[in-house]
């Protein structure tokens, strides 16, 4: 199943729309569980985030995935498998939405600093810079 979805997401963007709609038709909790699963994360979530995220339908799919995972990002960031999806989501989002993701992670920064996966996400998603202030965050994003 997961490998078949990955293959469908590898088609040209106009043909991948149906697979994207099918995946994103799931609830946020189901998508978070998929992101915590080794095969689901690598095949399905990476299939979305490795696509041409600047073009439709992948651009809207990335935003929809983020919207559905909001409120679940901190636990995912501390998860052995889920942290990978959070880092990839940060890289795939447009700059304006990255700040929203970082804000959610910043609210749980003490929890994330307690494990290696969380610390990797804190670093990759510029949480420390966000906590230092807006100018430090924007300077880091610009690098």
pTM, 2 dp: 0.95
pLDDT at 142: 84
pLDDT at 77: 98
Give the chain's mean pLDDT: 96
143 pLDDT higher than 90:
no
Over the chain, what HEC string results? CHHHHHHHHCCCHHHHHHHHHHHHCCCHHHHHHHHHCHHHHHHHHHHHHCCCCCCCCHHHHHHHHHHHHCCCHHHHHCCCCHHHHHHHHHHHCCHHHHHHHHHHHHCCHHHHCCCHHHHHHHHHCCHHHHHHCHHHHHHHHHC
pLDDT at 128: 97
Tens-digit pLDDT profile for residues 69-106? 999 999 999 999 999 999 999 999 998 899 999 999 99
pLDDT at 106: 98
| Residue 37: partners with Cβ closer than 8 Å, 6 or more residues away | 81
Straight-line distance from the first to the last Cα atom of the chain, in angstroms, rounded to the nearest whole number: 39
103-117 average pLDDT score: 97
Tens-digit pLDDT profile for residues 15-31? 999 999 999 999 999 99
């Amino acid at each position: 199943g997961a490998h078949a979805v990955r293959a469908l997401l590898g088609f040209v963007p106009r043909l991948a729309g149906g697979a994207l709609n099918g995946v994103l038709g799931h609830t946020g909790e189901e998508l978070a569980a998929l992101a915590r699963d080794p095969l689901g994360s690598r095949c399905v979530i990476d299939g979305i985030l490795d696509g041409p995220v600047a073009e439709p339908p992948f651009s809207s799919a990335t935003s929809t995935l983020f919207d559905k995972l909001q409120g679940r990002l901190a636990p995912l960031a501390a998860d052995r498998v889920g942290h990978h999806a959070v880092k990839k989501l940060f890289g795939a989002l447009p700059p304006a939405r990255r700040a929203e993701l970082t804000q959610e992670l910043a609210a749980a920064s003490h929890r994330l600093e307690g494990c290696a996966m969380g610390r990797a996400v804190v670093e990759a998603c510029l949480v420390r810079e966000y906590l230092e202030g807006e100018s430090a965050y924007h300077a880091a994003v610009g690098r």
